[in-house]
């Protein structure tokens, strides 16, 4: 066990030494990480709680990118002038819309390196749509339907989600098919097609916690009535209705990555709806799901 721990510590130390190096910039000794390497290198680190960014040219000179305030507390954006002085103007790479943030600097320096060197391999990944297909199952008390005894019914369905492939995305849209079965007391069933939007207010490589809203639904509902006719016989009849609505149904949920391409999810689907009546029963509409990246 001792040897394993020592090997682990050694591996971490090697990784740390590769991840950042020590430089002297204007007499200041700094440990900096290399984000982009090419005709221009982008170096950075968080130093004393502040993000600091540097550009290294081919001759090894390192210049800090600054954005100080004047006496009127207006940002001077000196980093743009620095970038313009370092970059060859013949390549027409504009810095007008560049922010002093890691993603923005990475993008413009990556663009310059690719423009000035045809052999350069871009390090900026383009965000492309990603499809996730899932299945779900759970229970509902039909929160927007009269359900006097608050009985639960099984639900099952499928979902296709469209989301960005960039790291830890927050926004996505989804198309969902779900069917709710009738129960012994409430002879009501429903098949619903819906379009919705999902926002992840927690988005990490492993965990996502989100709110979602269904803004358009097409429902195929069936209600079965049982009554006694004039001959004292029990008779059952069924009514079918098709409803297109814009109910704005809100819910919350979370997902946990269990592999590079698979997630499990837990959802509280129907907390409240803006344009649907809610009977006295508090919403109970929960589902457990599994989805995979296609």
Show the domains of the chain with their CATH numbers.
15-116 (no CATH), 129-293 (2.40.160.20)
pLDDT score recorded for residue 33? 93
Alpha-helical segments (H) within the chain? 2-19, 78-86, 102-116
- Cβ neighbors of 73 (< 8 A, separation 6 or more) are none
Whether residue 149 contacts residue 141, with contact meaning beta carbons closer than 8 Å, is answered with: no
- Across-strand partners of 291? 134, 263
- What span, in angstroms and rounded, lies between the C-alpha atoms of 245 and 236? 28
pLDDT score recorded for residue 60? 92
pLDDT score recorded for residue 73? 87
- What span, in angstroms and rounded, lies between the C-alpha atoms of 125 and 165? 9
pLDDT score recorded for residue 12? 39
- What span, in angstroms and rounded, lies between the C-alpha atoms of 96 and 142? 54
Residue ranges for the chain with pLDDT beneath 50: 1-18
Count Cβ atoms below 10 Å from residue 37 Cβ, excluding itself: 15
- Cβ neighbors of 89 (< 8 A, separation 6 or more) are none
pLDDT score recorded for residue 19? 59
């Amino acid at each position: 066990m001792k040897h394993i721990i020592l090997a682990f510590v050694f591996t971490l130390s090697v990784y740390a030494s590769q991840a950042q190096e020590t430089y002297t910039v204007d007499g200041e000794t700094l440990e900096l990480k290399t984000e982009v390497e090419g005709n221009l290198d982008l170096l950075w680190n968080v130093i004393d709680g502040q993000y600091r960014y540097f550009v290294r040219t081919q001759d090894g000179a390192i210049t800090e990118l600054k954005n100080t305030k004047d006496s009127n507390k207006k940002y001077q954006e000196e980093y743009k002038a620095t970038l313009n002085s370092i970059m060859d103007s013949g390549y027409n790479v504009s810095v007008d819309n560049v922010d002093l943030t890691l993603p923005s600097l990475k993008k413009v320096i990556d663009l310059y390196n690719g423009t000035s060197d045809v052999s350069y391999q871009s390090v900026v990944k383009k965000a492309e749509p990603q499809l996730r297909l899932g299945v779900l199952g759970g229970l509902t008390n039909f929160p927007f339907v009269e359900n006097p005894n608050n009985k639960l019914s099984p639900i099952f369905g499928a979902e296709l989600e469209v989301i960005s492939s960039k790291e830890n995305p927050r926004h996505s849209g989804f198309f969902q098919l779900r069917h709710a079965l009738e129960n012994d007391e409430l002879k009501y069933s429903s098949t619903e097609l819906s379009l919705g939007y999902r926002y992840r207010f927690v988005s990490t490589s492993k965990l996502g916690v989100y709110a979602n809203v269904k803004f358009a639904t097409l429902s195929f509902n069936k209600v079965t009535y049982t009554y006694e006719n004039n001959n004292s016989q029990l008779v059952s009849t069924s009514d079918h209705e098709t409803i297109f609505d814009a109910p704005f149904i809100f819910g919350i949920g979370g997902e946990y990555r269990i592999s590079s391409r698979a997630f499990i999810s837990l959802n509280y689907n129907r907390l409240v709806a803006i344009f649907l009546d809610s009977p006295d029963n508090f919403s109970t509409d929960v589902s457990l799901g599994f989805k995979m990246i296609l």
